[in-house]
Homo-oligomer: A and B are copies of this chain.
Amino acid sequence: MEHSISEVARMSGLTSRTLRHYDDIGLLRPVRTASNGYRWYGRRELLRLQRILFLRELDVPLAQIGRILDGDRDGVAALRRHRADLVAHRDRLEEIIATVDRTIADLTGQAHLSEEEFFTGLSARRDDLRRDLEARYGAAAGEHFTGADTVTGGWTREEHEQAAAQGRRLLRRLSEARSSGTAPGSAAVLDLMSEHYQGVRLLWPADAAAYHALADVVTGNPNQRAMIEEIDPLLPPWLADAIRAYAVRRLGYVPARGRE
């Protein structure tokens, strides 16, 4: 009892193209290929196909399916690893969905947690910030503020608002990381901090040292601190740690002992 490729396609719900593909990659070979090139499948092939379809439905990559079915050596271990991937994927989706929800709420104006602009608010208080940095670290730290090119003057009102919303979203994501017990220096947080660093650089060409100095500003500067506490009262010191961690680990900042 042999079956043509279209018969197998009908029985399995696959297309003949897919079956040809499985032949190409060696996942499911026909029992024989006639001299005219026609593929013929037998019962044993159908059994294998059935198991292929099952594993495929579990999102197991075809290559792995082949390994599981061939050397059955440790199909269970492979499945366990696959399960771990699935769970991680699902957890990540949970986070993403939550973030999307808050983003939608933010965009539709349902969330007025803070009408203040974050990055732009930062920009509006440049003089304040500059004095703060200079007082803490001397004139060199504030020097970067001199260029007029760092101002956001060229932005439209819409761009301002988008930047502000972006900043609030970022702070909320950081708040989430903090409240879930994630360390400020963990890789996941540093990834988020790269967004923060980039946001800061939109307004101010901070190098590693200047960015590092910003850590003290978010806890020490009343305006900055109040803006952040409005989103999460416990965030400022944690954010300060994250800023320092990012400056050191991703920007290569070497904690100064008085150089320059």
Contacts and interface: CB of A to CB of B under 8 A. Distances in A.
Contacts of A140: none
Q: Is the interface of A mostly helix, strand, loop or mixed?
A: helix
A99 to B, nearest CB: 6
A59 B96 contact: yes
Instruction: State the 9 A-B residue pairs at the shortest beta-carbon distance, nearest first.
Output: A1-B149, A90-B93, A13-B194, A83-B100, A86-B97, A76-B107, A11-B198, A58-B96, A46-B202
Contacts of A82: 100
Interface string A1-26: 10000000001110000000000000
A47 B152 CA distance: 11
13 contacts: A1-B205, A11-B198, A43-B202, A44-B154, A46-B202, A49-B198, A50-B199, A53-B198, A79-B104, A80-B104, A83-B100, A83-B104, A86-B93
Nearest to A194: B13
B83 A97 contact: yes
A159 interface: yes
